[in-house]
Amino acid sequence: MPCKRRGPIITMEKFQWDERMVGLSLGFVGTLLMIVQAGLIRIAIPKLGLKNAILLGLTLYLIAYSLFGIATQSWMMFAISIFFVSAGIGGPALQSYISNHIPANEQGQIQGGITSVISLTAIIGPVIMSSLFSYFSRKEAVFYFPGAPFVLSALLSVLALLIMISYFRNKE
């Protein structure tokens, strides 16, 4: 039966997390984010280069989403969060790559376009993902699989990764 409480409904449904556990997980992810944003990004991007940082970020998202989708124990969600948060190196690398390859007089236009796409996905994403979760966590579903939104996210990560690989190959 789907969880009717607010919050991260997948973990509440799949692992019976309560508000305390959700809070602990969010605190853990927040701490990881601080580490990645304050240190890892500054170290990883210069060492890897922008292209490799973008590809690594997308690969880590693919791994994390896939593992989140099939996780069977609460502790796995914490462990997988390390991959997920580390994937955050891809975003700043992509922004830098785009900025470095766009003429100065078009910077505002491209940054506005990026912001628009991010805003659009923030509207469409939750509708699609919550619908998938709702369908696959009800009794009438073909099979019970509350991790379905993560699998879709992994598939979209594969698509993004393939697009970037193709783009970089064509640029060389």
pTM higher than the cut 0.85: yes
Task: Give the pLDDT confidence of 63-106 residue by residue, as tens digits.
Answer: 999 999 999 999 999 999 999 999 999 999 998 999 898 888 98
Q: What pLDDT, on a 0 to 100 scale, did the predictor assign at position 4?
A: 43
Total domains in the fold of the chain = 1
Residue 3 lies in a domain: no
Q: What pLDDT, on a 0 to 100 scale, did the predictor assign at position 157?
A: 96
Residue 4 lies in a domain: no
Q: What pLDDT, on a 0 to 100 scale, did the predictor assign at position 134?
A: 92
Residue 8 pLDDT class (50, 70, 90 cuts): confident
Q: What pLDDT, on a 0 to 100 scale, did the predictor assign at position 67?
A: 97
Residue 33 lies in a domain: yes
Residue 153 lies in a domain: yes
Q: What pLDDT, on a 0 to 100 scale, did the predictor assign at position 139?
A: 86
How many CA within 13 A on the CB side of residue 90? 18
Say which DSSP state 145 is in: -
Q: What pLDDT, on a 0 to 100 scale, did the predictor assign at position 2?
A: 41
pLDDT for 1 beyond 70:
no
Structure-token match 């580390």, residue found: 86
Contacts 24+ apart (CB under 8 A), 27-30: 28/78, 28/81, 29/81, 29/84, 29/85
- Please tell me the distance from the alpha carbon of residue 157 to that of residue 149, in angstroms, as a whole number: 12
Residue 135 lies in a domain: yes
Residue 72 lies in a domain: yes
- Tell me the Ramachandran region of residue 102: left when phi exceeds 0, alpha when psi lies from -120 to 50, beta otherwise: beta
Residue 3 pLDDT class (50, 70, 90 cuts): very low
Residue 132 lies in a domain: yes
Domain that holds residue 38: 9-171
Task: Give the pLDDT confidence of 104-126 residue by residue, as tens digits.
Answer: 898 889 889 989 999 999 999 99
Residue 109 lies in a domain: yes
